[in-house]
Each structure stands twice: as C-alpha cells, then as structure tokens.
Chain A
Amino acid sequence: MKTQRTLTWLTAVALAYGLFLAITSPADVVQGQFVRIFYVHVSTAWVAFAAFGVTLIGSLAWLGFKRPILDRTAAASAEIGVFFTGLAIMTGMIWGKPVWGTAWNWGDARLVSTAVMFFVYVGYLALRRAISNPIVRANRSAVLGSMAFLMVPAVYFSVNLWRTLHQGPTIRSDGASMDPAMLSAFLTNLAAFSLLFVVFLITRTRLELLAESVASAEASERHGLAEPDLEML
C-alpha cells in the first residue's frame, strides 16, 4: 500500500513535469501551438496499446494457469485501454479540426481502425458484463481478449499500409528528426503516462477483487438469512 502511494505521488510529479515541458517547449514551425496537443495525444495512444498488450498477456495466462487474478488484471487493463483510446480519439479530433480542417475523416485508415479497436474492446467489456458465471466469463473473454489484440498492430501499421490523412510513426527507425526540447517533452510525457497506467492498473485490479469479495460476502449473508424462512416452511 505504501509502495502504491509512493508510485502515485511519483506519477503526479512526473505528469506535472511533463505538463511543464509541454507548455515551455517551442512551438512548431508548421503547426504552431497545436503541436502541444501531440504530447498528450501520442502518450494516451501509447497507454492504450500497452493496456491492450496487458489484456493479451493476462488472457493467455488465464487460459494457461486459470488463476483469477490474471483474468481480473486482463479485464482491468481492457477498461483502462478503452478509456485511453477514447482520450486519444478526442485529443486527435481537437487537434485535427484546426490543423487538417476536419475533426474526423471516414477515409483515414488510422482513424477508422482506431475506432474499430475502441468498439472491439467495448464489446469485450460488454461480454464480461453479460456472463454471470465467473469461469465461463473468464474463458470466453480470454479468447476475445487474445484475438482483439490483432487490432493493435493493425492500428499501428495502418499509416504505413495506407497513405491517408494521418501522418506516419513519430519515432522512426531512421532516427527521429525532432527538436531536442520537443523530444524531451514527448519522452517525459510518455514516461509519465506509462506510470499513470501502472497506478491505474494496480488500483483497478484491486478494486475488481474487492468488489468480488464484497459481493461474495453479501451473497453468503443472504443465504444465512434465508435459513429461518426454510425452517418456517
């Protein structure tokens, strides 16, 4: 618990420093001030990818080892992934309206594939809510959670496969041609959001396990109250 508190404070400091660097970094020659949105946009998208990666690992681990915490971690991570995908879409739309002249383009491969990924994982969360048996729920959602990860490389490589409106990868293998102050702001925000993901994942997984133990305690309490009624019959 103390470690988590320390991690939470560390994350808050990292986010504040990332925000400071994002504000003080130079404006872009072409985009002007709008480039500052990129620091949170890419960071939220990165967290979404990482979260769906954890869902894949948790799902495969559940299928192999059948330990409840693996399934709950996969579920918690999927929820966080959906949350950050939503944020990435929103910040992208806010950026796209003034820079591209449109907030959304149905012909753009990156935008459409990201929306599809978002709804696939919303479907994963809906599936979990639809099944009450925890074992059946874990098995079925592990299969979907493993298959759904195919959307992540599809989204990532969509800008290479289809040359549409969205620009290519930010960090390329031939070296990023970015101003050092901009690169520093970008990497700091990326690290801060990664820490935030770890804090959210720990908190959300613990919450899920706590909710289950409360529900199970309430259920056994209800059974206890039902006994006198049976005796009366």
Chain B
Amino acid sequence: MSSQVAVVIFAYVVTYGFIVSYALWMRSRRKRLDDSQS
C-alpha cells in the first residue's frame, strides 16, 4: 500500500516538476528577451 502511494507520488512529482520547469524556462527566456530589447 505505502509502496503504491510512493510510486504515485513519484509519478506526480515527475509530471508537475517537468511542467513547472517548462513554464519557468519560458518565463526566464521572456525576461531575458525583454531585457535585451530595453
């Protein structure tokens, strides 16, 4: 039971971790481009 929950948590951490990382990458790239424009 606890090992099943651990696997589920791992799957969610991987999924949401990648999604947040991708969103943050887009945000930081946007900032860099805005800075280079000004």
Interface residues of A (CB under 8 A from B): 19, 22, 32-34, 36-37, 40-41, 44, 83, 86-87, 90-91, 94-95, 97-98, 196, 200, 203-204, 206-207, 210-211, 213-214, 217-218
Interchain nearest-CB distance for B1 vs A (Å): 7
Assess whether A207 is in contact with B26, with CB atoms less than 8 Å apart. yes
Complex Cα gap A1–B12 (Å): 30
B interface SS class: helix
- Is B26 in contact with A204, judged by CB distance below 8 angstroms? yes
Residue in contact with A19 in the complex, picked from B4, B10, B12, B14, CB distance below 8 Å = B12
Chain A interface, >50% SS class: helix
Whether the pair B14, A91 counts as a contact (CB closer than 8 A) is yes
Q: List 30 A-B contacts (CB under 8 A).
A: A33-B4, A33-B7, A34-B7, A34-B8, A36-B11, A36-B12, A37-B12, A44-B15, A83-B18, A87-B15, A87-B19, A90-B15, A91-B14, A91-B15, A94-B14, A203-B23, A204-B26, A207-B26, A207-B29, A207-B30, A207-B33, A210-B30, A210-B33, A210-B34, A210-B37, A211-B29, A213-B37, A214-B36, A217-B37, A218-B36
Give the residue among A33, A34, A217 with the most B Cβ atoms within 10 A. A33
Q: With A and B bound together, what is the CA distance between A34 and B1 in angstroms?
A: 10
Complex-state Cα separation, A90 to B36, whole angstroms: 36
Whole-angstrom CA separation of A196 from B30 in the bound complex: 18
What chain A residues lie within 8 Å of B22 (beta carbons)?
83, 200
